[in-house]
Structure 1
Amino acid sequence: MILLPSSSPLPMPVPRSARQRARPPFHAALPSIKEFPMNESGLRSSMIALSMCNFMVAFMVSGVGACLPSIGNDLHASAGDLSLISAVYVLSLVIFNIVAAQLIAIMGQRRVFLYGFAIFLVMCLSLAFSPNVELVWGQRFIQGAGAAMVATSSVTLLISIAPRSMQGRLMGLLTASTYVGIALGPLVGGGIATALGWRWLFVVLLPLGVLAWIAMFRTVRVRQVPVPTGLDLPGIAVMGAGFVLLTIGASCVGRYDFAGWFLAAGLAVLVLFVLVELRVPRPVVDVRFIAAHPSLILGLFAALVNFGSINGLLYYFMLYLQQLRFLTPLEAGAFVALQSVAQSLLSPLAGKLSDRIGPDPVSAIGLAFSGAGILLSSRLDMHSSLLFVGLTQCIIGVGLAFFAGPNTLSIVRSVDASHTPEASGLANTMRTLGMLISLIIVSATMTRYLGTHGAGPEMAEPFLRGMRLDLRLFVAFNVLGLALVSLRILNAWRCGLGKGVDCMPDPSFLEEEDGNGGSGGQAGSEDGAAERNTGGKRA
């Protein structure tokens, strides 16, 4: 359970002007915090270690994708076998992002992070010695579980160790480290596979990972009130079955007629999962709690539609650049990497803006840029300038930088302290589900317009028609996301007038109440935490 920085609960929302007066400037934030459990040096060391861990996880995810052809040649794996390497990893992320939230309630976010990153590192080492592709499937599934534990606990750790007045910019730095890993993975991973072989990809960064794990173990200390609960094994089993069916169906859309049956069965099982969760005393997903918090629901669905629009772009851009514009894989990868470069550079700025004006307005800016970049991309044809292609990638990257981190921060702030891990896990799961939705849409569209043909020059016109159709749909996704975030902004304004719903008291105002500037991370008293977490009451 995470302890929010406060000395006493506040029953009413706080006017914006009071919140602004309570927030100290950046250079004065850390020295003025009396309840904060870390000094400035400790916070800096912890954030460096946390960023290194997230960088390595993201680097491995994108780097493995670049090495799939080499893995196939070495292990004599078919294209279908290679696609399963990515599919089982995504499946593991979807399941264990949610399970990790319940593990945090039992073990604490620090232990979950350390265990998860240790699992990830051990699987990296074992993958370097895999004798066949079947073993790789199992190793990647376990590695995905470790990555999910890291992703879910990273956000809760940041909220735990950072003062509220700095959470936005630190979230931006954490997001930037992830995007740097995504950007470098294909380039460095492809270079390692070419020069040394694919197995070295899993070995080269191991020393860095071990150092990051030791740094996390030594620097991060979070006060934790244990929760007497256990894993919701029936719920996890039903949820896992539903996501397995959905993943199989998504992977088979356009190739096999039974794909629709698997998708329908997966949705039916997930409906059964909701019914199961309503009956168990300590569910892995607290359906009643989520239903009672519309602000949380709006943030989660905004993440779903945004990531549902972005993932399909990578597929279309890579095919467009390689098959229609005859760029090499390296050249096409460099164009797509512009998106991650923009994300890396601007995520810290988005975090600072989140601290100044709130995360929801920044998320709205990000959705507007994402939609504009995708709309411009829908105008691509066989004669479009490559400079224009690069411009669209940069605009989309700006949108993601301003949306991803701020929206995550907004989601975890939508709930009380005891439900922060669950909110973080759900946010990660919704992003992954968005990827699956994008895969289904793209596969169905390409099957309709290309049939069994490849996306070569002779099929350029039908390919471009299908691509434009999906890109316009993805623009609509971002417009929907913008509407959802706008509803959150409107509700926050109404909360300031005492008329909103699901209003949370702003803990930053308590700094002014205390008169000591201390926003604290998690260092409030356990008695105060117990008082705040009795049911998560709203004003």
Structure 2
Amino acid sequence: MSEASIKKITLLVTSLANFIFPFNVFAINIAIPAIGTEFSMDAFTLGWVSTGFLLASAIFLIPFGKVSDIYGRKRIFMLGLLIFSTVSIPLAFSTSPLMLIILRSIIGIGGAMFLGTLMAILTGVYPIGERGMAMGINTMAVSIGITSGPFLGGLLTQYFGWRSIFLVNFPVGMLIVALVLLKIKMEWKEAKGERFDVKGALLYGFMFLLVMYGITSLPSLQGIVMVVIGAITFPIFLKLEKKAKDPIINVSIFSGNRPFIFSNLAALIYFSATFAIIFILSLYLQFSKGYSPQDAGLILATQSILTIIFSPIAGRLTDRYGARLIASIGMLFTTSGTALLVSINEVTPLEFLIMNLVLLGLGAAFFNGPNQYAIMSSVEKRFLGVASGMLGTMRQIGQVLSMGIATIVLTLVVGKNQITPDSYPLFLVSAQILFVAFAIMCFFGLLASLVRGKI
């Protein structure tokens, strides 16, 4: 097979994988009420249907990135997809809440295996000069998954039941595996011969679990204690990694590597500042403006549609002008859109909100792909799997942190009671506080993007 054909197939399989994961996340979010009703689950147990999946996928991203560098990225990529797709079959026929949570956590681990390697595979196939376009298309695939997940998930749940959402994973996953087996013969394992750092991986998993679950439990005392213990564990983990012969995270990839450090920092800030925005705006449109859930969803889809349209364009511009400039423009769009949202109130025109969603959509398109390009292009080939896992980890931490910040502010301002018409003014105050905080964070994200240096 020609080099051009290998590039096209690699782009196809990585884009499909980047689509199916967020599709599953957002489709199941729509089906959560139906799942809770069928199993008579309380709110805490029902929350673990999503929490277990996200924690499992987040904890294993970097470890499996390292495993793929040692034993082969294609192998780990396919194994992850096999787990994700085949375990979805018994998951679809779960007979108890415990079975559902355990099996969904297992497919989360499978997701970590292919998400932690796909950017490394793409980077290994596409050279600088073509890589930006490829990553732009991958960003577009993620946005399609995010956009179509709630809509198709709702249709599947309504007409075929929530179990049908998991059944979709099987044909898509097996199609990707078949394409890889039949069309991609090469393998990438630049760290072959190294040993996997089991102690480091276990300590990392313990630390990460404490921090991630602790953030989701804030502002409770339990959440605070878990985050503090996780933070105390971090320097111990770093000390262990410095002494390890083949560490799970080689500290040397950070040494003097401004593009890698500041690109990851920019990613962490971006997702911390933006992930909860759609959540807050969804509540705003339904509570303060009186829109139905369906209409609110259609309005909020503006952001993803803009991201889908402009991500390939941003990729082409990255190949031509470099990641720092294009990603910084994206962060500028995001900062502007977030800052303008500070002024929303009960009488804000819909046109104003849509304008801000356009800015946020452009920001996502111009930041995400170019920033991924910067991260993956700033490390040696033997570290590509770890870099890919690090990128995914920054995204997951940022998303959890964003929702944690939103939960804390809503709890402190509105209280723990259900949001009612009497508390709508307090909800608006909390939304404005959050948008101020997110806008400030975006500004620092813009600075991180600007000072990263050339790739």
Normalization by structure 1: what TM-score? 0.81
Aligned to 2:20: 56
Question: Counterparts of 2:282 and 2:345 in 1: how far apart (Å)?
Answer: 14
Aligned to 2:193: 228
Partner AA of 1:246 in structure 2: V
Aligned to 2:442: 478
Aligned to 1:245: 210
Aligned to 2:362: 398
Question: Counterparts of 1:248 and 1:183 in 2: how far apart (Å)?
Answer: 27
Structure number with greater CO (CA < 8 Å, separation at least 6) is 1
Aligned to 1:428: 392
Contact 1:93 1:429 in 2 (8 A): no
Question: Counterparts of 2:207 and 2:229 in 1: how far apart (Å)?
Answer: 7
Alignment of 1:270-309 (within 5 A): 270-309=234-273
Partner AA of 2:107 in structure 1: Q
After superposition, the C-alpha distances for 1:79-121 in whole angstroms (9 at most, x for unaligned) are 2112112212221222111012211122111111111111110
Partner AA of 1:337 in structure 2: A
After superposition, the C-alpha distances for 1:435-456 in whole angstroms (9 at most, x for unaligned) are 1221221111111101123333
The question of 1:263 aligning with 2:227 is answered yes
After superposition, the C-alpha distances for 1:357-397 in whole angstroms (9 at most, x for unaligned) are 01111100100001111112221111112232222222101
Question: Counterparts of 1:327 and 1:141 in 2: how far apart (Å)?
Answer: 34
After superposition, the C-alpha distances for 1:239-286 in whole angstroms (9 at most, x for unaligned) are 1111221233222214x3332112111211223222221221111111
Q: How far has the Cα of 1:55 moved from its partner?
A: 1.3
Partner AA of 2:422 in structure 1: E
After superposition, the C-alpha distances for 1:14-68 in whole angstroms (9 at most, x for unaligned) are xxxxxxxxxxxxxxxxxxxxxxx84333322332232222211221111111111
Aligned to 2:120: 156
Match of 1:117 among 81, 96, 118: 81
Question: Counterparts of 1:218 and 1:58 in 2: how far apart (Å)?
Answer: 26
After superposition, the C-alpha distances for 1:461-506 in whole angstroms (9 at most, x for unaligned) are 2211111111111111111111111112xx33xxxxxxxxxxx7xx
Aligned in 2, Cα 1:49/1:465: closer, same or farther, shift over 3 Å? same
After superposition, the C-alpha distances for 1:216-247 in whole angstroms (9 at most, x for unaligned) are 22112334356112321111111111122123
Partner AA of 1:251 in structure 2: T
Aligned to 1:498: none
The question of 1:41 aligning with 2:5 is answered yes
Structure of greater Rg:
1
Contact 2:84 2:169 in 1 (8 A): no
Aligned to 2:173: 209
Partner AA of 2:430 in structure 1: G
Question: Counterparts of 1:234 and 1:195 in 2: how far apart (Å)?
Answer: 48
Question: Counterparts of 1:79 and 1:324 in 2: how far apart (Å)?
Answer: 25
What is the RMSD computed on CA atoms of the aligned residues?
1.7
SS in 1 for 2:407: helix
Question: Counterparts of 1:90 and 1:291 in 2: how far apart (Å)?
Answer: 30
Q: Which deviates more, 37-46 or 67-76?
A: 37-46
Aligned to 1:361: 325
The question of 1:379 aligning with 2:343 is answered yes
Q: How far has the Cα of 1:321 moved from its partner?
A: 1.5
Q: How far has the Cα of 1:205 moved from its partner?
A: 4.9
The question of 1:103 aligning with 2:67 is answered yes
Q: How far has the Cα of 1:313 moved from its partner?
A: 0.7
Contact 2:85 2:171 in 1 (8 A): no
Percentage of matched positions with identical amino acids: 27
Question: Counterparts of 1:457 and 1:291 in 2: how far apart (Å)?
Answer: 53
Aligned to 1:327: 291
Partner AA of 1:320 in structure 2: Y
Aligned in 2, Cα 1:426/1:46: closer, same or farther, shift over 3 Å? closer
SS in 2 for 1:378: helix
Aligned residues: 454
SS in 1 for 2:185: coil
Q: How far has the Cα of 1:206 moved from its partner?
A: 2.6
Q: How far has the Cα of 1:310 moved from its partner?
A: 0.8
SS in 1 for 2:302: helix
After superposition, the C-alpha distances for 1:325-376 in whole angstroms (9 at most, x for unaligned) are 2222222222222211111111100100000001111100100001111112
Question: Counterparts of 1:105 and 1:141 in 2: how far apart (Å)?
Answer: 24
Partner AA of 2:279 in structure 1: Y
Question: Counterparts of 1:38 and 1:155 in 2: how far apart (Å)?
Answer: 21
Question: Counterparts of 2:225 and 2:208 in 1: how far apart (Å)?
Answer: 14
Q: How far has the Cα of 1:136 moved from its partner?
A: 1.8
Partner AA of 1:309 in structure 2: A
Aligned to 1:187: 151
Contact 1:100 1:425 in 2 (8 A): yes
Aligned to 1:4: none
Partner AA of 1:236 in structure 2: A
Q: Which deviates more, 299-308 or 377-386?
A: 377-386
Aligned in 2, Cα 1:84/1:291: closer, same or farther, shift over 3 Å? farther
Question: Counterparts of 1:213 and 1:393 in 2: how far apart (Å)?
Answer: 36
Question: Counterparts of 1:50 and 1:298 in 2: how far apart (Å)?
Answer: 25
SS in 1 for 2:106: helix
Partner AA of 1:124 in structure 2: S
Aligned in 2, Cα 1:75/1:147: closer, same or farther, shift over 3 Å? same
